[in-house]
Copies of this chain bind each other. A is one copy, B any other.
Amino acid sequence: MSRGFPVAEYEGRLSRAQALMERAGLEALLLTTEPEVRYFTGYLTRFWESPSRPWFLIVPRHGKPVAVIPSIGAALMGKTWVEDIRTWSAPDLVDDGVSLLIDTLREVAAGPVGVPMGHETHLRMPLADFDRVRGAVEITHDHGIMRRLRMVKSAAEIDKIRTACAIAGRAFDRVGGIAGAGAPLSQVFRDFQRLCLEEGADWVPYLAGGAGPLGYDDVISPASETPLTRGDVLMLDTGLVRDGYFCDYDRNYAVGPVDDAAHRAWETLMRATQAGFDAAQPGARACDVFRAMDAIVGGGDAGRLGHGLGMQLTEGPSFIAGDDTMLEPGMVLTLEPGVALPGGGIMVHEDVIVVTETGAEQLSPKVLDRLPEI
């Protein structure tokens, strides 16, 4: 599959943004994070792993985006459709692009500039520098425009997520070759990342998991050196990236025969996932999908039973009781129910779906009828 997007993809994103800015009375958006900058430009680099340099993208109400970036990024940004690229030599301990940013904002925006500042957003620049910008330019909330835009994916974006899901699926199919009684969990984690790369992942930003006879302690711990034991349930949850888009789902495996309680828990998770799938109709609300799953798995404490995903591992909306976001065709979501087992362990399952005009479609591969044994 080809890399990147045609320029029309970015033109569409820009014109949708500008229509929302018009309605909200914003003269520009000021964006600082990787997915926000990439959304409008296609600027894709792992260099964001370095926190040292700030990067700015200004999306004006009229015209194309303006990049205000460290000079080290000029060559790569020059390969995108962005034409107005202004650079400074970063890092600069006295003025790390702040004056250039303020001057550019004043030039392109005669009124309020919206910054994403709500749920699930961060500002990726030093706060003291942002306070200087705030003192010089009228900064306000972006009114949720970025969240709203990114929540609904284009057909091309959905294809990329589908590709990422398929890569992870091929790696999951090979878990029997790397995991079994005696293998330390840390080695399984390392080998599973290798499988993801072999199957086509560009990189593997996220892997979590756990193992235990009646489920696992939690789903965010790093891998221990403890060897897998016959009778364990092993869970691997990966967020790999292909061409800038994530998958995020997990699979459970029985390491040899496991307790019946683990089989029953897994079947409950399948029923809950199916209930979430059935509820994820266009026009339903995020909380409806939550309730459909929660009715089966009952009040866990993970905080939510799924979420959006795309350029980030997790995005809005959240499958919680308090999120009344209306589902729309193009939303890519995970269904992620969890259950408690006797003894204090938990088991979780996660799949990726996309909402279509007629209901949900699964993007992660279908699971087998039964908790697979390795």
Q: Which residues of A contact B (CB under 8 A)?
A: 3, 44-47, 49-53, 70-73, 75-76, 89-94, 96, 115-128, 131, 141, 186, 189-191, 193-194, 197-198, 200-208, 217-223, 225, 239, 301-304, 307, 312-316, 318, 320, 322-323
Contact = CB atoms under 8 A, between A and B. Distances in A.
Contact of A207 (B46, B208, B315): B46
A59 B360 CA distance: 46
Contact of A202 (B190, B191, B208): B190
9 nearest A-B residue pairs (beta carbon): A117-B127, A47-B220, A50-B314, A117-B128, A75-B218, A49-B206, A52-B314, A45-B220, A190-B197
Contacts of A303: 53, 70-72, 89-91
A117 B126 CA distance: 5
12 contacts: A3-B225, A45-B220, A46-B206, A46-B207, A52-B318, A91-B323, A93-B322, A94-B322, A117-B126, A123-B123, A186-B202, A194-B198
Contact of A122 (B90, B96, B123, B198): B123
A312 B72 CA distance: 19
A79 to B, nearest CB: 8
A71 B346 CA distance: 14
Contacts of A222: 44-46, 202
Contacts of A315: 52
Given A51-B120, A318-B52, A301 B126 contact: no
A96 B76 contact: no
Contact of A72 (B44, B71, B301, B323): B301
A229 B118 CA distance: 48
Contacts of A207: 46, 203
A197 B119 CA distance: 35
A206 B131 CA distance: 31
Nearest to A50: B314
Given A52-B318, A70-B303, A208 B75 contact: no
A93 B51 contact: no
Contacts of A127: 115-117, 121-123
A123 to B, nearest CB: 5
Contacts of A191: 197
A53 to B, nearest CB: 7
Determine which residue in A124, A217, A301 has the highest number of CB atoms from chain B within 10 A of its CB, and name it: A301
Contact of A313 (B49, B128, B220): B49
The residue among A115, A198, A222 with the most chain B CB atoms within 10 A of its own CB is A222
A320 B191 CA distance: 40
A301 B119 contact: no
Contact of A75 (B115, B217, B323): B217
Contacts of A46: 205-208, 220, 222
A124 to B, nearest CB: 5
Contacts of A53: 303
Contacts of A123: 122-123, 127
Contact of A125 (B52, B72, B122): B122
Nearest to A71: B301
A369 to B, nearest CB: 30
Contacts of A202: 186, 189-190, 222-223
Contacts of A316: 52
A358 B302 CA distance: 51
Nearest to A198: B194
B118 A320 contact: no
